[in-house]
């Protein structure tokens, strides 16, 4: 037996929170009857679940790493018909979602999965899963500016900060930085550096937790190894344990 929102998440419908919204909205039926009770449990074998009168079936969970080139969008649909990250995995039969969005001008590591639970945990600030970026910025940030990135920069939606930052290479009049985040607000890296008057020329994500981009070519994908999947889950569990200990 599975709680209904978990069943829907495992079927690739979305995160548990999104599935809760679908249930409350009356878009889910069990054996032909609309259900709005969030506590309902279903039998994975015998129960017939429907979303908007379309049958929902639990799929095999899949996990893919993709090296997104610039110019691709991290959404499941674009009215303008621009290329999507999902177009890079036409061989994946399951309905997958991007984990850790990158804007159109950014590149690098994306995770694609139909595991709604893990996807939500990896992106939620509560779990603090680290994302590592290599960023080419105009000019040469001073030591004080680098320190400010880790102590906090005030933006319109609050104070943000990186967990780690360092210079690692010069390129003409520009500088490559390595930045590690554990929060993940929208366009956080670009906005922090813009506040410090250093325009981002290139931004590439090279790791999410223990999963690294390594030598995966642009536009290509690979399945995550079992050890990598377990590493992501372990990082989430460690944070949950730490949070429970501090609250107890």
Pick from 14, 40, 226, 230: nearest CA to 49: 40
Please, what is the Cα angle at 3 between 1 and 226, to 5 degrees?
A: 80
Tens of pLDDT along 217-240?
Answer: 999 999 999 999 999 999 888 777
User: What percentage of the chain exceeds 70 in pLDDT?
Assistant: 96
pLDDT score at 244: 58
Q: Answer whether 244's CB lies under 8 Å from 237's CB.
A: no
Round the average pLDDT of the chain to a whole number and report it. Answer: 90
Mean pLDDT of 209-213: 94
Q: What is the pTM (predicted TM-score) of this model?
A: 0.79
Rounded average pLDDT over 48-72: 91
Distance CA 10, CA 56 (A): 10
Checking if the pLDDT of 82 tops 70, the result is: yes
Q: Is 103 a catalytic residue?
A: yes
Residue 106: name the closest of 214, 217, 204 by CA: 204
Average pLDDT estimate for 15-40 = 93
Report d(CA 141, CA 102) in Å as an integer: 23
More confident residue, 2 or 107: 107
What local confidence, expressed as pLDDT, does residue 242 receive?
65
Q: Which domains are assigned to the chain?
A: 2-56 (3.10.290.10), 63-125+211-233 (3.30.70.580), 130-208 (3.30.2350.10)
Confidence of residue 10 (pLDDT cuts 50, 70, 90): confident
pLDDT at 201: 96
Please pick, among 20, 78, 93, 103, the residue that the annotation labels catalytic: 103
Angle (CA) 56-61-65 rounded to 5° is 130
> In the sheet that 28-30 helps form, which strands lie side by side, from edge to edge?
33-34, 28-30, 49-51, 54-56
Would you say residue 248 has pLDDT above 70? no
Task: Note whether 131 and 184 are within 8 A (CB).
Answer: yes
């Amino acid at each position: 037996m599975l709680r209904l929102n978990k069943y829907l998440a495992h079927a690739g419908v979305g995160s548990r929170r999104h599935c809760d919204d679908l249930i409350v909205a009356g878009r889910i039926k069990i054996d032909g009857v609309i259900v709005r009770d969030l506590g309902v449990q279903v039998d994975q074998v015998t129960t017939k679940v429907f979303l908007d009168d379309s049958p929902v079936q639990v799929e095999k969970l899949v996990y893919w790493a993709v090296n997104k080139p610039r110019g691709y969008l991290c959404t499941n649909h674009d009215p303008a018909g621009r290329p999507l990250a999902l177009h890079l995995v036409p061989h994946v039969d399951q309905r997958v979602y991007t984990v850790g969005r990158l804007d159109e001008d950014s590149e690098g590591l994306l995770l694609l999965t139909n595991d709604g639970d893990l996807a939500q945990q990896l992106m939620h600030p509560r779990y603090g899963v680290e994302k590592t970026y290599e960023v080419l910025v105009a000019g040469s940030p001073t030591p004080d500016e680098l320190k400010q990135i880790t102590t906090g920069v005030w933006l319109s939606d609050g104070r943000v900060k990186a967990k780690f930052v360092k210079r690692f290479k010069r390129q003409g009049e520009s500088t490559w930085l390595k930045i590690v985040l554990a929060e993940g607000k929208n366009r956080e890296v670009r906005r922090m550096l813009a506040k410090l008057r250093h325009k981002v020329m290139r931004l590439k994500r090279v790791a999410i937790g223990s999963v690294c981009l390594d030598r995966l070519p642009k536009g290509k994908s690979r399945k995550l190894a079992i050890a990598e999947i377990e590493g992501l889950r372990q990082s989430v569990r460690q944070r949950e344990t730490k949070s429970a200990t501090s609250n107890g």
